[in-house]
A and B are shown apart, each in its own frame.
Chain A
Amino acid sequence: MAPMLEQTEAVTAGPVPDPMLPVPYRIQRVKQETGDTFTLEILPEDPSQGFTFAPGQFNMLYVFGVGEVPISISSDPGNVPLLKHTTRVVGTVTKAMRQLKRGEVMGIRGPFGSHWPVEEATGRDVVIVAGGIGLAPLRPALYRLMAERSKFRRIVLLYGTRTPEDMLYRHELERWRGKFDLEIQVTVDRAASTWRGNVGVVTTMIGRAPFDPSNTLAMLCGPEIMMRFTVMELLKRGVAAECVYLSAERNMKCGIGFCGHCQYGPTFVCKDGPVFALPSIAAILGKSEI
């Protein structure tokens, strides 16, 4: 149980606020992104409350009287303390969260977890593979990459969704495509005959995507089965396993390595993850419950 103690000490040491105590944030805007997905834009009630985070980290969002869920931060790390969280309605808490209105208050704990290795991508091609809601945790990494575009070689975003209507951040992606040197390929599982883009699973795009596998850093987030198949295609193309990073989702409670809810062997997804290099997560990938 050593990792638990280490984490507890690390988090509680110094003037850091109690990581178990939610900080009140007020909702500035509720944006419906797709049929079942929405984004909350929030600001701390106390304007002196600072907040910094790294792309890929998550917060615990507390809907008072209902419960708390881990949700990735999907906003620009260079534009804090405004935070955005893009959430898909699946159950009790996310349903209640969707009912919240502008001006209402919710609790935030965080940021928690590991982050995307954006700095390590310097001088390399970057391939980002997102599936469905998986684009949300990757968006902060994209903001970072765009902010320092010249540091990186090719940047390729491969994004798969169920239908064109399920695409997240459509306008923003269009704007980026026009403004930066960014290759964006979107594919959907099925579409009406009026759709002019790709149809097929996102894994089928990897073989032909424009990147140099010997000098590429890949970041993946999406349904686990998508990530498993994406990993296979990336390795087949010649990308080294240690250059592949992915974000894992597991049920969580404390978010700080305390309760063991997200533990798999010696690994705590909440603090060792959610972003892992492939070699350190290969054993977890494909295990449905831990």
Chain B
Amino acid sequence: MIQTTLEPILREHPFFQGMEEQHIRLIAGCSKNVRFAAGEVIFREGDPADHFYLIREGLVSVQFVIPHDGLTTVQTVGGGEVLGWSWLFPPYRWHFDARAQQATHALAFDGKCLRAKCDEDHDLGYDIYKRFMQVVTERLEATRLQLLDMYGTHA
């Protein structure tokens, strides 16, 4: 019973903190344990976004190819954080590359499975979308600060 062994891990992960027990049970069935070696590509820009990841340990780089600069890391995601929200919205494709920077241990969630559960149980769907909105909002805020180039001429 993989689900039962993963439930405590889900409960402990900051991303699912405070989630109702029945919801934890529902989503545990869509998750599995995964490991990535340092340097391993987790997904590539344009690929179908059929998963998201809760990072347990390690560090993942979110990267783009920037003309002239080449492959550039614009964000890292570490233990306790969540990687990827493209699975939530059509066309369900990744908008960037993700590569394990260090040996990384994560929980991978099947996006299709989770979307189906959210459609069936709107309370679950509301909870999940709220959690992702929080992540997206924080990311937007961080991106704004990065765009300001605040350590540059504004320092």
Q: Interface of A with B (CB < 8 Å)?
A: 88, 90, 131-134, 160-162, 166, 187, 189-193, 195-201, 203-204, 208, 222-223, 225-226, 229
- Quick one: which of B103-130 are within 8 Å of A by CB? none
Known: A88-B155, A225-B145. 13 other contacts (CB 8 A): A162-B152, A190-B72, A190-B74, A192-B70, A192-B71, A193-B61, A193-B71, A195-B73, A199-B61, A199-B75, A201-B145, A222-B150, A226-B145
In the bound complex, how far is the Cα of B152 from the Cα of A8, in angstroms? Answer: 36
- Quick one: which of B138-155 are within 8 Å of A by CB? 138, 141-142, 145-146, 148-155
Contact partner, B148, options A190, A208, A225, Cβ 8 Å: A225
Q: Specify which chain A residues have a CB less than 8 angstroms from the CB of B72 in the assembled complex.
A: 190-193
Query: Contact: B150 with A191, CB < 8 Å?
Result: no
Contact partner, B155, options A131, A192, A200, Cβ 8 Å: A131
Q: Does B78 contact A (CB under 8 A)?
A: yes
Main secondary structure of the interface of B (DSSP, over half): mixed
Q: Does B80 contact A (CB under 8 A)?
A: yes
Q: Specify which chain A residues have a CB less than 8 angstroms from the CB of B153 in the assembled complex.
A: 90
Q: Looking at chain B, what size class is its interface with the partner chain? A: 20 to 34
Contact partner, B145, options A132, A166, A195, A203, Cβ 8 Å: A203
Q: Which residue of B lies closest to A36 (CB)?
A: B152
Q: Does B31 contact A (CB under 8 A)?
A: no
Query: Contact: B63 with A193, CB < 8 Å?
Result: yes
Query: Contact: A199 with B138, CB < 8 Å?
Result: no
CB of B140 to closest CB in A, whole Å? 12
Query: Contact: A131 with B76, CB < 8 Å?
Result: no
CB of A215 to closest CB in B, whole Å? 21
Q: Which residue of B lies closest to A90 (CB)?
A: B153
Q: Does B59 contact A (CB under 8 A)?
A: yes
CB of B88 to closest CB in A, whole Å? 21
Query: Contact: B142 with A223, CB < 8 Å?
Result: no
Q: Which residue of A lies closest to B153 (CB)?
A: A90
Query: Contact: B75 with A200, CB < 8 Å?
Result: yes
A-B contact pairs, 13 of them (CB 8 A): A190-B72, A190-B73, A191-B72, A193-B70, A193-B71, A199-B62, A199-B73, A223-B154, A223-B155, A225-B148, A225-B154, A226-B150, A229-B145
Q: Interface of B with A (CB < 8 Å)?
A: 59, 61-63, 69-76, 78-80, 99, 101-102, 138, 141-142, 145-146, 148-155
In the bound complex, how far is the Cα of B47 from the Cα of A127, in angstroms? Answer: 41
Query: Contact: B70 with A131, CB < 8 Å?
Result: no
Q: Specify which chain A residues have a CB less than 8 angstroms from the CB of B79 in the assembled complex.
A: 208
Query: Contact: A132 with B61, CB < 8 Å?
Result: no
CB of B102 to closest CB in A, whole Å? 8
In the bound complex, how far is the Cα of B74 from the Cα of A190, in angstroms? Answer: 5
Query: Contact: A189 with B155, CB < 8 Å?
Result: no
Q: Contacts A199-B76, A201-B146, A204-B138 given: A189-B151 contact, CB under 8 Å?
A: yes
Q: Specify which chain A residues have a CB less than 8 angstroms from the CB of B78 in the assembled complex.
A: 198, 208
In the bound complex, how far is the Cα of B130 from the Cα of A151, in angstroms? Answer: 43
In the bound complex, how far is the Cα of B72 from the Cα of A229, in angstroms? Answer: 25
Q: Which residue of A lies closest to B141 (CB)?
A: A229
In the bound complex, how far is the Cα of B73 from the Cα of A191, in angstroms? Answer: 5
CB of A59 to closest CB in B, whole Å? 19
Q: Which residue of A lies closest to B77 (CB)?
A: A200
Q: Specify which chain B residues have a CB less than 8 angstroms from the CB of A90 in the assembled complex.
A: 153
Q: Specify which chain A residues have a CB less than 8 angstroms from the CB of B155 in the assembled complex.
A: 88, 131-134, 222-223
Q: Specify which chain A residues have a CB less than 8 angstroms from the CB of B101 in the assembled complex.
A: 196
Query: Contact: A200 with B142, CB < 8 Å?
Result: yes
Q: Which residue of A lies closest to B79 (CB)?
A: A208
Query: Contact: A162 with B142, CB < 8 Å?
Result: no
